[in-house]
Amino acid sequence: MLISQSDITDHKGDGWSRYVLGVIWSLEIKSGLEIYVDGQVPLGAGLSSSAALECSTAVALNHLFSLNKNSKELALLTQRAENKYVGVPCGIMDQSVSLMAQADHALLLDCRDLSTQHIPVDFAGASLRLLIIDTRAHHALIDGGYAERRASCESVARKLSVHSMRDLDLEKLESGRNLITDIEYKRARHAVTEIARVLAAVELLANRDFIGFGALLTQSHNSLRDDYTVSCPELDVSVETALKNGALGARMVGGGFGGSAIALIRDEDAGKISQAIERVFAERGFDSPRFFNSLPSGGARVI
């Protein structure tokens, strides 16, 4: 990929190249570049391929041009690229974990100040793994669905006089229900309960309570499906089938409207669960899914 300054200023990129151009723009690189991109994160699968591309590009350019940016600064700059250049009003979670993750740990991120805590996650030691189910239902955030849900939560915060969903609890949400629409109530209820699930997950993982953690994953999917309404039939079938066949928990991941689900499974159940999902997909007339096995790994780095 050959890149000139006119490519950046004229927004000549399309598809994945927009994310590369956005990072170059955000880092204020003024010289032309030749970039070769290779990777194994499937595009449009809800697995944060955009953040992976942005962050790997940012780390490479930070090293190449001796910009001396730290991980927090790069997270903010790559978020800016996606918000301002690509046009997706995303948060900073995907970029942060792509840059700051450590192997065998989950990342607890405070989006207000980007402070982090690494939570040990020994799935392998417990003979567990994450099964990633790529439903092949195309996922895209740029069509407005994500933006609409974010706007609903921001509207609730204004109407209930709080800074963000972080400052809201279920009691205050219920007391102000007459001030917001039914849709806004459901969107906010998901946000409030999801924040509580994150904090509960930290305790469960610290205590190696993987059964309890799996239950939280499933609760999260139900909330994303019913309150945030960002699931789809392929994702719901993946979760339901995985649970029926022994998964400890399962949920959709990413921004929704397609993409992938994850299931926390025992190692010996991987084949059984994958085959069951394939069978149900065929019965429903869905495209054949793809499967990946995963354990927590490190973030972007120069190799």
CATH number, domain with residue 18: 3.30.230.10
Shared-domain flag, residues 277 and 143: yes
Q: Which domain holds residue 172?
A: 118-294
Confidence of residue 140 (pLDDT cuts 50, 70, 90): low
Q: Is position 108 within any domain?
A: no
Residue 44 has pLDDT above 90, yes or no: no
Confidence of residue 257 (pLDDT cuts 50, 70, 90): confident
Confidence of residue 139 (pLDDT cuts 50, 70, 90): low
- The sign of the CA dihedral 186, 191, 193, 194 is positive
Phi, psi of 251 (to 5 degrees): -160, 160
The percentage of residues in the chain with a pLDDT greater than 70, rounded to a whole number, is 93
**The residue type at 117:** Q
How high is the pLDDT of residue 155?
97
Phi, psi of 205 (to 5 degrees): -65, -40
Q: What is the pLDDT of residues 208-240, one digit of tens each?
A: 999 999 999 999 999 999 999 999 999 999 999
* β-bridge partners, 251: 262
Listed range (100-104, 207-211, 292-296) with the worst mean pLDDT: 292-296
Q: Is position 281 within any domain?
A: yes
Question: 211 Cβ partners below 8 Å, 6+ apart?
Answer: 248
Q: CA distances (Å), 240 to each of 17, 134, 222, 263, in order?
A: 36, 15, 10, 10
Residue 166: CATH number of its domain: 3.30.70.890
**Three-class SS string for 204-266?**
HHHCCCHHHHHHHHHHHHHHHHHCCCCCCHHHHHHHHHHHHCCCCEEEECCCCCCCEEEEEEE
How high is the pLDDT of residue 244?
98
**Whether this model's pTM surpasses 0.95:** no
Q: State whether residue 191 is helix, strand or coil.
A: helix
What value does the mean pLDDT take over residues 27-39? 88
Shared-domain flag, residues 16 and 151: no
Listed range (7-11, 147-151, 172-176, 180-184) with the worst mean pLDDT: 7-11
Residue 142 has pLDDT above 50, yes or no: no
The percentage of residues in the chain with a pLDDT greater than 90, rounded to a whole number, is 75
Residue 180 has pLDDT above 90, yes or no: yes
Nearest residue to 241 via CA among 216, 213, 267, 263: 263
Residue 299 has pLDDT above 80, yes or no: yes
> Which residues are known to be catalytic?
94
Residue 9 has pLDDT above 80, yes or no: no
Shared-domain flag, residues 202 and 78: no
Shared-domain flag, residues 53 and 126: no
- The sign of the CA dihedral 77, 96, 149, 257 is positive
How high is the pLDDT of residue 37?
87
Give the residue ranges of DSSP H helices in the chain.
5-9, 17-26, 49-64, 71-80, 93-100, 145-159, 170-175, 182-206, 210-226, 233-244, 270-284
What value does the mean pLDDT take over residues 136-161? 82
What burial class does residue 150 get, using C-beta atoms within 10 Å of its C-beta: 0-12 exposed, 13-18 middle, 19+ buried?
Answer: middle
Q: What is the pLDDT of residues 278-293, one digit of tens each?
A: 999 999 999 999 999 8
Q: Is position 302 within any domain?
A: no
Q: Looking at the 3D structure of the chain, how many domains does it have? A: 2
What value does the mean pLDDT take over residues 129-134? 96
Shared-domain flag, residues 192 and 91: no
How high is the pLDDT of residue 18?
87
73, 100, 127 — which closes off a domain?
100
- The sign of the CA dihedral 153, 159, 162, 168 is negative
Q: What is the mean pLDDT of the chain?
A: 91
